[in-house]
Amino acid sequence: MKTLSLLAADLQQGRTTSRALVEECLQNIAAPHGEGVRVFLKVDAERARADADRHDAERRAGRARSPYAGIPVSIKDLFDREGEVTLAGSKLLRDAAPATRDAPSVARLIAAGFVPIGRTNMTEFAFSGLGLNCHYGTPANPFDRATRRIPGGSSCGAAVSITDEMAFAALGTDTGGSCRIPAAMCGIVGFKPTARRVPLAGAFPLSPSLDSIGPLANSVECCAILDAVLAGEHIEPILPLPLRGLRFAVPQAVVLDDMDEQVAGAFSRALSSLAAQGAIIEEIPLTQLQELAELNRKGGLAPPEAYALHRDWIAEHADEYDPRVLARILRAKEQDAADYIQLLRARTSFAERLAAELMSFDAMLMPTVPMIAPPIASLDDDAAYRHTNALALRNPSIVNFIDGCAISLPCHRMGEAPVGLMLATLGGRDPQLIAIAASAERALAGLA
């Protein structure tokens, strides 16, 4: 895997150049039988080449902006870039005015020297966990490509841009799992930080109460580097936290339901690998999780918050929406203002009670999603789509609801369908979670 550290070393030692990395990514994007046409909604080839040449010149002059200056990254299509229209995976916004400035998250990546290679495809308005896009096509999962399986969403293009080396890291968002689900289904790492770490300005909103901005990449260290940049922090080396003596909670309610055979096997082996390193794995009832279905029975927070933005557009241009996305937004009509306010209060209470249950544990462990990526064609039926989408979002969305942080690590064996192990904890514990994940990643490497 081409991690950011390895690429930085290659750049420093003169084994490669930024221009060579950009050309490699552009070649992979343009591969005639590849997924590039479905992964990217816009490729910034000439701007990327110009940026690369500038970084190469700065490095030769000893003025590299950071060790990672010149490394190509992809940008999810809901982030503003100056002079570009932010489509958010839609056709509705194709005539919108171009952005007048970069989103802060994009600006911070550029300031650190990363080279945006283009805008990646996504579920329209980020409102699904499967990654389907009826307007621009759906990029196929790297596993079993002949079957054309879903990549996971909503950051579908982000994940495949990494697996197919069209970029070496990706900027995504996560409202109910949109960094972690595609990472799990495609076999890479996806990190959802505590939401307040990264400013949401300049990112097209889905649900401001739940939205967060995070990276997808090839390793925990890559995600930690990107997270530090996005949070405006100094990049510090990860000091892995030894697993021996750490206490991990495995909830027995809800999160283990409906696991398919492949996920169940991979999850069991992952727990055994962590235990072999001295981690203490404790099964806990955590029956409080059963409350979530009732709390969100009218659709949850996302529909009313999305509808507040989309209402006028829907009134005039409903036919331009993906019908499945439109249906999810219109679930807002099942709620009134009192329902919404009560849900906000219930969220606060739920998060406080869950925090009390988890305070003594270093993290929760669960499958990121309980099934491997299904074929795209199997979701043509609306009922199958709704069931699969709800199942994909079920575990990751718990973390958004409690304003926590979480990371998905690959835990499958070489040659098997990708499966993700999610480590999750309370909000504000991001550095500790990354340190634990770095050690877990090493333990899980033996499964390959």
Q: Which residues are catalytic?
A: 76, 154, 178
d(CA 430, CA 86): 29
Omega before 154 cis (within 30°)? yes
Let me know: does 90 contact 320? Beta carbons within 8 Å: yes
Let me know: does 299 contact 328? Beta carbons within 8 Å: yes
- Hey, what are 257's tokens? 């339901």
Q: Which parts of 102-178 fold into alpha helices (H)? A: 104-111, 156-163
Q: In what order do the strands lie in the sheet with 247-251?
A: 40-43, 115-120, 72-76, 170-173, 213-217, 189-192, 405-410, 420-425, 363-367, 247-251, 280-284
How big is the CA angle at 365 (ends 361 and 367), to the nearest 5 degrees? 165
User: Which residues contact residue 341 at a Cβ distance below 8 angstroms, ignoring those fewer than 6 apart?
Assistant: none
Residue 367, beta-bridge partner list: 421
User: Which residues contact residue 347 at a Cβ distance below 8 angstroms, ignoring those fewer than 6 apart?
Assistant: 209, 295, 301, 401
Return the H-helix or E-strand segment holding 443.
helix 430-445
Task: Look up tokens 């550290």; give the residue.
Answer: 5
Closest of 40, 368, 27 to residue 191, by C-alpha: 368
User: Which residues contact residue 299 at a Cβ distance below 8 angstroms, ignoring those fewer than 6 apart?
Assistant: 328, 331, 332, 334, 335
Count of CB atoms within 10 A of residue 239's CB? 11
- Hey, what are 158's tokens? 């982000």
- Strand pairing of 213-217 and 189-192? antiparallel
